[in-house]
Amino acid sequence: MNVRGAESGHQHHRRTLPRSARLLLAVNACNALGTSLSSIFINVYWYKLTQDMSQTLLFNLITYLAWLPAFAAAGWLSKKASRTKALWIGSAVQVLFYISVLGLGTESSKWLTALGILNGIGQGFYWMSVNVLSVDVTSPENRDWFNGVNGIAGAVSGMIGPLVAGIVVGAMPQMAGYTTVFMLSFVCFLVSLLTALLLPKDRPEGGFDWSSLNQTLRHKEWRSLTFAFVGVAFRDGVLSVAIWLWVYIATGSESSTGQYAFLTTLLSVGGFYLVGHFGKEHLRWRFMVFGAVLISLSMTGIALLTTWSLVLYAVVSAARRPFFDAPFNTTAFNAIGRFDRNGTIRIELVVWREAALSVGRISSVALLYAIYRSDTPHIELQLNLFLGAMVVMGLMPLYFIRKAAAASQRSKRLPERHYSIGPSEEESA
């Protein structure tokens, strides 16, 4: 009886989130809805205006290039001022981005470089603060639940947004539907900004300690996770952009594209709930292996670039996403919690993680941009080789996650050396 009561109390504690965590979930949900409404169709919009996929890829490449320095600047600001101020700036710049898109209208396709910089700055500031706050407002006991709920909110938003956007764009004449969708996104980002203003303020922590990053890399666990971040972002960074453009090109219909996005994202909702509800440390590795292998197998069908092969990939990708993303994010956040010197260099570690992710995203998008920009008669062969590289890079994180776990287990036998940010002969091996 007492044992059951203790277990029930432990489960209740795992699912109890403080007010700050609930507010952050609301901020993320509004932001995710605004992103899902327009992230697919803003790329389709510019493709329709330019009839050149390389131009849409250029916008995303510029966004990623601007994202990293903005992310680092947000980290510096968070140490000098507060994390919430970085969140406010990121949300405000995202609002400004959509004001610019609405104001420029069809002329926006001539300003893709400037818009990409603006979008990258907004995304960089926003995601730096969110990543840090996700650690600050949770604990190891409720982090799986937080990530699961956050994943459900993102999945539901990702399900509703493209469906509504596709219907609106398809029902309204010419480009009027796109204007309406971008206006809805603007409203979502504005609500996200207003909600972010309710988050409690935090005190500045001092200067940004760049030297701590070099010291942390002396630990084998963090080095291995760094390579895992690169591999994950190499695959997901470019596919998040290209897959729905390919679906639109194959179907020629915004409405169909939105419906496919709705159906595929629907699969993620249940998966994120299961992972959040039942996610335990001893199951994380199995979940990640299942998710990574499944997505790599499904990518073989993309090479056909037919409607059904692309939809099959999208379905499998949506089904596997919760099983890899939620436990992988928890693994990353827990590692940050172990190496952050009781929170004093948490921001520096989050910036380093983002730098690794940016290397993966920029590399893959730049490669695909170069393929489409070259416009050679052998483009199909080049695309197949590119997809093969993504399969390899998508499986690579499993190897490095395993190495990181082994290094973590060894370091637990030497707790004093593990939690210090300094060289260690065993951890540097």
Tens of pLDDT along 139-183?
777 777 787 788 778 777 878 888 899 899 888 887 888 999 999
Q: What is the pLDDT of residue 287?
A: 83
3-state helix, strand, coil in the chain (%, to 5): 85, 0, 15
Alpha helices (H) along 219-306: 220-251, 254-278, 281-298
Alpha-carbon separation of residue 198 from 33, 65, 192, 406, 427 (angstroms): 19, 31, 10, 41, 42
Rounded mean pLDDT, 110-118: 94
Query: How does pLDDT run across 350-405, given as a tens digit for each residue?
Result: 888 889 999 999 999 999 999 988 877 778 788 888 888 888 888 888 899 888 88
| Single pTM value for the model | 0.83
Residue 72: partners with Cβ closer than 8 Å, 6 or more residues away: 124, 351, 354, 355
If one looks up domain 20-198+210-418 in CATH, what number appears?
A: 1.20.1250.20
**Type of residue numbered 403:** K
CA of residue 297 relative to chain centroid, distance: 21
Give residue limits of the domains in the chain. 20-198+210-418
Alpha-carbon distance 50 to 260, whole Å?
24
pLDDT of residue 227: 93
